[in-house]
Amino acid sequence: MSKLKILFVAILSLSLTGCAFGQAKLPEKTKADYVWNEATKNAAFPQGYGFPVFVINEKMIAFHHENVWSSADGTNWTKTDLPSVKRDAYEARYVQFNNHVYALGQNQGNYVKGIQFGSTIRRTTDFKKWETLAEKSELPNRVFYGSFVFGGKIWLMGGYDGKNYHNDIWNSADGVRWTQISEHAAWSPRNAGILVEFKNRLWMLGGGVIDGMTTDNPNSNKEIWSSTDGVNWTLTTAKAEISALGTPIVFDDKLWLIGANRNDGNFARSSLVTDDAVTWREESAPWSPRGAVAAWTFGGKLFITGGKYSYMKNGEPVFVYSNDVWAMSKKSE
């Protein structure tokens, strides 16, 4: 099986997409086998959330909403000449594919005011400029879809077209021409939850609809599905005993959900980790509570940056954003 690159590296908004797993009690915390170290309190890029960091050519490249930054150590970051083309959750989707980064789509608006879809496909190979591969492509009109790279192709699953939710599956070898592989997958129409490869299977964790919208499957956020080929899916459980989503990353042969762990409406200083995608435990962390973080692996360590959380003050929400960088490694024996 080809290696899957995690493309949806940050959950953009748990409340927006309705993707939180039930309100089941979190697994008990266990004795930590890992240690976190702060690489920097304030990276050169601005505070923010919901942006990815890709590892290409021995560099960590942060595709921040304002600019694109690179680093060789996680501490020192340099702004590149490459401009950002994704400034909100709707505008585009970044995908790492064949050692390049693609920007899929050029949308405007939001689900409240309406979305104007654009199918422009861009690619950067030198991280200095964008090359337009197509002003108009066959990219489906979709936001909040799941995406991943598998078998030498970019895959797209589910999502919302401004009116309806979908459970179809598409793939593309170039980002421009798209083929519908399945009109209706086994899972119900939804904004896709977490998609990740782990233990030689593809996994879909959760997924749902925008808060307040009707759905034929109100428990989809508790489901875990898996597949060996991306087309045929098997329901592993419909009663997931984890309380919320985070950013997925595979590290030390385990699947981690970093940040956004909530079972009481609050963020936690912790991550969820599993050996089998079914039984989960909680690992505490020293960084501040947050969700929608960027997570990646580099040099045998798990890195995170960015994130967002909020608290109430005088009856009003106060939002806190981050740009510190942390690295986790396994404790020495």
Domain ranges of the chain: 5-330
Tokens standing for 229?
């080929």
Tokens 């400029």 — which residue? Answer: 129
Question: What pLDDT score was predicted for residue 263?
Answer: 47
CA–CA distance from 296 to each of 67, 132, 135, 227, 293 (Å)?
Answer: 19, 27, 31, 23, 10
Mind listing the pLDDT tens digit for each residue in 118-134? 999 999 999 999 999 99
Question: What pLDDT score was predicted for residue 333?
Answer: 54
Q: Is the pLDDT of residue 115 over 90?
A: yes
What would the mean pLDDT of 139-159 be, rounded to a whole number? 96
Per the DSSP assignment, residues forming a β-bridge with 240 are none
Per cent of the chain over pLDDT 70 is: 86
Residue 140 confidence class, pLDDT cut points 50, 70, 90: very high
Tokens 């060789």 — which residue? Answer: 72
Mind listing the pLDDT tens digit for each residue in 245-276? 789 999 999 999 998 655 445 566 788 999 99
The mean pLDDT value of the chain amounts to 88
Q: For the chain, where are the alpha helices, taking DSSP H only?
A: 14-17
Give the CATH H-level superfamily of domain 5-330. Kelch-type beta propeller (2.120.10.80)
What would the mean pLDDT of 9-20 be, rounded to a whole number? 38
What would the mean pLDDT of 219-242 be, rounded to a whole number? 91
Question: What pLDDT score was predicted for residue 21?
Answer: 41
Predicted TM-score (pTM) above 0.95: no
- Residue, of 174 and 283, whose pLDDT is higher: 174
- Whether the CB-CB separation of 234 and 225 falls below 8 Å is answered with yes
Question: What pLDDT score was predicted for residue 116?
Answer: 96
241 burial class (0-12, 13-18, 19+ CB within 10 angstroms)?
middle
Measured torsion, CA atoms of residues 131, 135, 136, 138, in degrees rounded to the nearest 10: 10
The three-point CA angle 37-38-43 to 5° equals: 155
Per cent of the chain over pLDDT 90 is: 71
Ranking 83-87, 222-226, 245-249, 323-327 by mean pLDDT, the lowest is: 245-249
Q: Is the pLDDT of residue 22 over 80?
A: no
- Whole-number Å distance between alpha carbons of 61 and 146: 21
> Within its chain, how far is the Cα of 126 from the centroid?
24
Question: What pLDDT score was predicted for residue 219?
Answer: 87
- Whole-number Å distance between alpha carbons of 268 and 311: 12
Question: What pLDDT score was predicted for residue 244?
Answer: 61
What would the mean pLDDT of 191-215 be, rounded to a whole number? 89
Per the DSSP assignment, residues forming a β-bridge with 283 are 271
Measured torsion, CA atoms of residues 325, 57, 298, 269, in degrees rounded to the nearest 10: 30
Ranking 68-72, 165-169, 197-201, 268-272 by mean pLDDT, the lowest is: 268-272
Question: What pLDDT score was predicted for residue 14?
Answer: 36
Question: What pLDDT score was predicted for residue 215?
Answer: 83
CA–CA distance from 265 to each of 27, 105, 124, 131, 294 (Å)?
Answer: 16, 33, 39, 43, 21
Question: What pLDDT score was predicted for residue 31?
Answer: 55
Question: What pLDDT score was predicted for residue 267?
Answer: 64
Q: Is the pLDDT of residue 138 over 80?
A: yes
CA–CA distance from 8 to each of 53, 171, 210, 217 (Å)?
Answer: 10, 16, 18, 23
Mind listing the pLDDT tens digit for each residue in 160-175? 999 999 999 999 999 9
